Amino acid sequence: MGQEMFCDCGNKCPMWTAWKNSPNLGRRFFSCPNYRTKDCGFLRWVDEPLSESARFLIYELKKENDTLQKLSEDYSRAKCVLEMKKLHKQITMIMEKVDSFKREKYDIERADSIVDDTCIGVDWIKCANG
């Protein structure tokens, strides 16, 4: 379409589409980018008003699109939660292995200590009998 429109403030006006359920639903328009902060009030319609049946169809399609977007967001969140649960399970398994290795290391160190104590006792007996 390539139209450019400038408002009374001298700003380039973006083109918008009216999505609010009103007689202007689906119509495109130019408006001042500062319409909420200044008193410019510039607005020019690009399209002629649509028929009631066209507005109804656009409204229903927009509702369906909004529903699909929400479902897509819900699916994405559910997928993230599922991935987090999988990662949590993997982390739990790794931590259990680490704890198991720590217990094995403790058992080995304890066994080494018992062996060392036994050897010292054996050496002492040798010395005493010696």
- Report CA Rg, the chain: 38
pLDDT of residue 39: 76
- Exposed/middle/buried for residue 25 (C-beta within 10 Å: 0-12, 13-18, 19+): buried
Rounded distance between C-alpha atoms, residue 53 and residue 106, angstroms? 79
pLDDT in tens, 73-124: 999 999 999 999 998 888 888 888 888 887 777 777 777 777 666 665 555 5
- Exposed/middle/buried for residue 38 (C-beta within 10 Å: 0-12, 13-18, 19+): middle
